[in-house]
Amino acid sequence: MSRRRFIGGLFAGFIALIGFAGTSDARAAEDAGTFIMRMADKAVGALSNPDLSNQDRAERFRTLLREGMDISDVARRALGPYVRRATDEELNEFESLLEENIVRKYAILFKNYSGQKVELVDTKEGRRGTQNVTVLIHRNDGAPPVNVRWVVHEIDGSLKVIDIIVERVSMVTTQKEEFVSVIRRNGGQIDALLQELRERNAEMADNVKG
Amino acid sequence: MPAGLVSIASIKRLCAGIVLSVALVGCATAPTDPVEREIYDEANDPVQPLNEAIFEFNMAVDRAVLRPVAQAYEFILPDLVRDGVRNFLRHIKTPVILANDLMQGDIDRAGETMGRFIFNTVAGFGGVFDVAGEAGIEYHQEDFGQTLAVWGVEEGPYLMLPFIGPSSGRDAIGIIVDAGLDPLRWWGYNSNDYIIEHNGLIRTLTEAVDTRSRNYKQLEDLEETSLDFYATVRSLYRQQRESLIRNGVPDDDALPNIGFEGYEGIDTESDGKDTQASLVN
């Protein structure tokens, strides 16, 4: 069961986004590393104010997400082989539902952000033009640091995150298997997943109001 | 994860159960549609209906017993005591970890395991304090499932084991072999003292409670936010095992484990840009 220790990592990944405030290490000459740090600084400025309403925090997070993440790429990979079956309309709707889902799931967590120290480890070339930015997040409670790897690619001249790998657990892979399983259980109907996401997003929006 | 004697018995029962249910229900037949077929192969979960039933059972056991006990354990005992319990459980697992380090030909990590054992025995009051870890020789886990993987044995189908949780054909064999490699268990077989005799089971249960007390909130969050908890657990289990097998070294050649082949379908649509990877990881 100790494997499940990693589960919290997916959340930690998003915490990492705003965790760069304390980064003192100036080795980040690489483009992708600089990009991740710039986004992180922005996120800290925009989100870590405890007086923000949950709704405002969510909207600010959405703006950052659009700027920093290639949602379109993430969405296509998160559908697995079903992406080949999806119509353009389904894909478009899935993309916006997924964005909403990420915003709803994670925005609330920034409220409790407590300034963990983040150390940039390195930036390496990945496969097919991607860059992997690895950081360690040092937690306040003395627990071992969390290893987070950002997979970044360039699209239309700007860098975008396409996966977050926390303690070797990929956000996209995990979401993909979840989504594929939902579709499969519903006889291959992509619309069934869209419906589930719509409902779930509405539920979370209700919980977050205030 | 080690298994007690009881666990071995459960595995035997499970195997019998699988044989029986396969005989009765038959395996879910592989779909012929190419997309469905790809998903079926990727899931590598031919006994999924049985696995899901066992998963439900495990969740019920967790709700009824493990979680309340773990909560009480966390509430009653100070962190220092719980850390001591975990350190000691890890400490007495040393022979199994060392054996697997060696079988994987990893002399460096075998050295770390030995160094930790000696250091923590002497300076850590018999392993209750992890002074080696604080000095930079971190604990690492090894088991025979990982050793088999290093030897090139395939993962085998996904299996949900009663009480134990997610596993695979390879890891289930690993659990049994690790039990055989454990000198404390042999000591138990040859003892009439109740506690010593059942030390394997006692350790397994204590470890389960201790581990559960440490990820209480995370699991709850995950279950709440997941659209398909069974599939999420399966995915996390595989990825974490993969990471353990590689001893945490990231596969730098790999993009995030997309896993599915035949990804060309997208590339042709995305203005021909080769930004996607289809990788077999």
DSSP string, chain B: ----HHHHHHHHHHHHHHHHHHHHH-PPPPP-SHHHHHHHHHHT-TTHHHHHHHHHHHHHHIIIIIHHHHHHHHHHS-HHHHHHHHHHHHHTTHHHHHHHHHHTT-HHHHHHHHHHHHHHHHHTTTTTS-HHHHTT-------HHHHHHHTT----SEEEETTTEEEEHHHHHHHHHHHHH-HHHHHHHT--SHHHHTHHHHHHHHHHHHHHHHSHHHHHHHHHH-S-HHHHHHHHHHHHHHHHHTTT---TT--S----S-THHHHTTTTT---------
Q: What is the pLDDT of residue A157?
A: 85
- Tell me which residue has tokens 């990009």: A35
Q: What is the pLDDT of residue B16?
A: 63
pLDDT in tens, A45-86: 777 777 888 888 888 889 999 999 999 999 999 999 999 999
In the three-class reduction of DSSP (H, G, I as helix; E, B as strand; rest coil), residue A207 is classed as helix
Does the structure show a pLDDT above 90 at A209?
no
Contact B276 A128 (CB under 8 A): yes
- Tell me which residue has tokens 């018999």: B126
> Residues with Cβ < 8 Å from B92, sequence gap 6 or more?
B127, B184, B203
Q: Which helix (H) or strand (E) holds A147?
A: strand A146-155
Whether residue A62 contacts residue A103, with contact meaning beta carbons closer than 8 Å, is answered with yes
Q: Which of residues 212-271 of B touch A (CB under 8 A)?
A: 212, 214-215, 217-219, 221-222, 225-228, 230-232, 234-237, 239-244, 246, 248, 250, 252-260, 262, 265-266, 270
Structure tokens at A24: 């003192």
Which phi and psi angles does B121 have, rounded to 5°? Answer: -65, -45
A132 half-sphere exposure, CB direction, 13 A CA radius: 21
Structure tokens at A26: 């100036």
pLDDT in tens, A150-171: 999 998 888 999 999 988 899 9
Mean pLDDT of chain A: 81
Q: Name the closest residue on chain A to residue B231, using Cα atoms.
A: A178
Chain B partners of A197 at a C-beta cutoff of 8 Å?
A: 227
Which phi and psi angles does B160 have, rounded to 5°? Answer: -105, 115
Whether residue A183 contacts residue A192, with contact meaning beta carbons closer than 8 Å, is answered with yes
A192 CA: distance to closest CA in chain B (Å): 11
- The alpha carbon torsion through A51, A53, A59, A64 (nearest 10 deg) reads 20
Contact B252 A76 (CB under 8 A): no
Whether residue A5 contacts residue B214, with contact meaning beta carbons closer than 8 Å, is answered with yes
Interface test with A, best of B1, B32, B33, B35 (most A CBs within 10 A): B35
Helices A171-185 and A71-78, interaxial angle, to 10°?
A: 50
Chain A partners of B273 at a C-beta cutoff of 8 Å?
A: 155
The two beta strands, A131-138 and A169-170, are unpaired
Q: What is the pLDDT of residue B29?
A: 73
Whether residue B265 contacts residue A91, with contact meaning beta carbons closer than 8 Å, is answered with no
Q: Tell me the β-bridge partners of B158.
A: B168
CB contact burial A128-142 (16+ within 10 A = b; e otherwise): eebbbbbbbbbbeee
- Amino acid letter for position B258: I
Whether residue B145 contacts residue B241, with contact meaning beta carbons closer than 8 Å, is answered with yes
**Rounded distance between C-alpha atoms, residue B105 and residue B84, angstroms:** 30
Q: What is the pLDDT of residue B32?
A: 87
Helices A71-78 and A88-106, interaxial angle, to 10°?
A: 110
Q: Which helix (H) or strand (E) holds A76?
A: helix A71-78
Q: Is B87 exposed, middle or buried (0-12, 13-18, 19+ CB in 10 A)?
A: buried
pTM for the model stands at 0.80
Q: What is the pLDDT of residue B252?
A: 52
Q: What is the pLDDT of residue A12?
A: 52
Whether residue A95 contacts residue A115, with contact meaning beta carbons closer than 8 Å, is answered with no
Q: Is A155 exposed, middle or buried (0-12, 13-18, 19+ CB in 10 A)?
A: middle
Q: What is the pLDDT of residue A165?
A: 92
Question: What is the ipTM score, two decimals?
Answer: 0.80
Q: Which helix (H) or strand (E) holds A149?
A: strand A146-155
Tell me which of A31-35, A109-113, B108-112, B269-273 is least confident. B269-273
Q: What percentage of chain A exceeds 90 in pLDDT? A: 42
Selecting from A84, A174, A200 the residue whose C-beta is nearest the C-beta of B235 gives A174
**Rounded distance between C-alpha atoms, residue B147 and residue B102, angstroms:** 9
List, run by run, the mean pLDDT of 10-residue segments along chain B (281 residues).
51 60 58 90 95 96 94 93 95 96 96 96 94 93 96 96 96 96 90 88 92 84 89 95 87 44 34 34 32
In the three-class reduction of DSSP (H, G, I as helix; E, B as strand; rest coil), residue A84 is classed as helix
**Rounded distance between C-alpha atoms, residue B218 and residue B222, angstroms:** 6
